[in-house]
Structure 1
Amino acid sequence: MNPRHESTAMATPEFDPAQFLAVAGVGRKLVQVKAGQALFTQGDDANCVFYIQKGRFKITVISNAGKEATITLVGAGEFVGEESIISIPGQRLATATAITSCLVMKIQRLDMIRSLREESQLSDMFTALLLRRSMRTQADLVDHLFNSSEKRLARILLLMAEFGKPDDQETLIPQITQETLAEMIGTTRSRVSFFMNRFRKMGFIDYDGRITVHKTLLNVILHE
């Protein structure tokens, strides 16, 4: 055999982040999570990180007084539980509960740390996703500080519908309660109900148990 051909045949396959996050292997396994089931709970040991392949989770925190608040939603193509890779392992800072049926890749803490150190493509992807999450968190803060509750509701519905894709005219979003929406925008369930009815009358959404969001809902955010 030609030595050059032999060397090529024995070469290590190039690392593929997409395959790493999609196919189970050493330190990684696929986990199905039913709607309403907790992926992890505040106070649990932070011993692994999850990559969401399908579905959506709400992230909630509980105060010392027992009050629960929904702080954000995460969906397909995002990591959750990333606090597990800090230098000193600790506890979960929040609870992740499935809103829909979900499929996630569970990656053990040490295997994730090793892969991030050894594979620059995975590290770049992970960093980019965390930066995007940080930017969204800052936008959420600005939204709470300066926008009305009506605009905050319109924004969260548009985010859930993942608008911004070319030619998207309407999207059916995952089931979510008015109580959860109220927690996320910092208002009452009755105010959410009032705004949802207004959006429906104006043709911005269809709402009959499930919510269909139309692109015209952007008018609430773009106009005073």
Structure 2
Amino acid sequence: MAEFELLEGLSPDERRQFLAACTPRRFRRRDIVCHEGDPGDCVHLILAGRLLVRVTTPLGHAATLTMLGPGEMFGEQALLSPEARRTATIVAVTDAETLTLNRVQLERLRREYPQVERFLTTSLAAQVRRLSAAVLEALYLPVETRVLRRLADLAARYGDGGGAPTVIQLTQEDLASMAGTTRATANKVLRELEDQGVVRLGRGSLTVLDRARLAKRAR
């Protein structure tokens, strides 16, 4: 089973009891897990699958921010306030499984285990740092570098830790959105990487064949 930072510090018995109290959810590829603006009534712990985080821009377009996978979670911000709403739409890009934790359960954890409160604070601070870094990249890095960095980040996060090819269920349009550019620009960068044997392009997926070379190019 995936490991969750939220539950670090709990004993094995406490962790098992807690997870047993969660509600399992299953989603098929392309299912909408939640919509931006929905009431924030639960947090999801991801057991399996990949999910995309999308938001609506001021012009009404959908922008992809990032991809989430096993061991990660989403929805914790919405649980911190009774009036909070979902800040993003979550879409399953593969079949996925989650465990849901409602507000009452999270509040009990926060009261009983100080490490949970610390984790939530640390998690929110990390999100602020990531957003600040993304703004700096958008302002000062060439667009080609941003595309390379987003792809390298995904390959590092979801690879097997070795040298095996990493298949990322992601469209070129989604990758372009993460990098803050157009699909045409992302496609140009990807075609060059394909010619160099670094990636292989597929329908709705990207396979990273050489993570080391990609990481070097993304610096």
Same fold (TM over 0.5): yes
Unaligned runs of 5+ in 1: 1-12
Task: Quote how far apart the aligned CAs of 1:65 are.
Answer: 4.1
Question: Is 1:78 aligned to 2:34, yes or no?
Answer: no
1:38 and 1:96 in contact (8 A); partners too: yes
Unaligned runs of 5+ in 2: 1-9
Q: Measure, in 1, the Cα distance between the counterparts of 2:177 and 2:183.
A: 8
Secondary structure of 2:218 counterpart: helix
Matches within 5 A, 1:127-206: 127-162=121-156, 168-206=162-200
Q: Measure, in 2, the Cα distance between the counterparts of 1:220 and 1:204.
A: 10
Q: Which amino acid aligns with 1:76?
A: P
TM-score normalised to the size of structure 2?
0.82
In the other structure, the counterpart of 2:7 is none
1:200 and 1:206 in contact (8 A); partners too: yes
Question: Is 1:110 aligned to 2:107, yes or no?
Answer: no
Compared with structure 1, are the counterparts of its residues 139 and 56 closer, same or farther at alpha carbon in structure 2 (3 Å cutoff)? farther
Q: Measure, in 2, the Cα distance between the counterparts of 1:111 and 1:128.
A: 20
Q: Measure, in 1, the Cα distance between the counterparts of 2:207 and 2:126.
A: 26
Task: Quote how far apart the aligned CAs of 1:121 are.
Answer: 3.8
Question: Is 1:220 aligned to 2:210, yes or no?
Answer: no
In the other structure, the counterpart of 1:4 is none
In the other structure, the counterpart of 2:46 is 52
Q: Measure, in 2, the Cα distance between the counterparts of 1:32 and 1:164.
A: 20
In the other structure, the counterpart of 2:3 is none
Q: Measure, in 2, the Cα distance between the counterparts of 1:170 and 1:131.
A: 33
Compared with structure 1, are the counterparts of its residues 117 and 168 closer, same or farther at alpha carbon in structure 2 (3 Å cutoff)? same
Paired positions, count? 207
Task: Quote how far apart the aligned CAs of 1:97 are.
Answer: 0.8
Q: Measure, in 2, the Cα distance between the counterparts of 1:16 and 1:150.
A: 48
Compared with structure 1, are the counterparts of its residues 185 and 117 closer, same or farther at alpha carbon in structure 2 (3 Å cutoff)? same
Counterpart selection for 1:120 from 98, 114, 121? 114
Q: Which amino acid aligns with 2:20?
A: A
TM-score normalised to the size of structure 1?
0.80
Task: Quote how far apart the aligned CAs of 1:41 are.
Answer: 0.3
Q: Measure, in 2, the Cα distance between the counterparts of 1:202 and 1:46.
A: 45
Task: Quote how far apart the aligned CAs of 1:199 are.
Answer: 0.7
1:99 and 1:175 in contact (8 A); partners too: yes
Compared with structure 1, are the counterparts of its residues 129 and 17 closer, same or farther at alpha carbon in structure 2 (3 Å cutoff)? farther
Compared with structure 1, are the counterparts of its residues 127 and 102 closer, same or farther at alpha carbon in structure 2 (3 Å cutoff)? farther
Secondary structure of 2:170 counterpart: coil
In the other structure, the counterpart of 2:16 is 19
Compared with structure 1, are the counterparts of its residues 80 and 105 closer, same or farther at alpha carbon in structure 2 (3 Å cutoff)? same
Task: Quote how far apart the aligned CAs of 1:89 are.
Answer: 2.4
Q: Which amino acid aligns with 1:183?
A: S
Secondary structure of 2:168 counterpart: coil
Bigger-Rg structure (1/2): 1
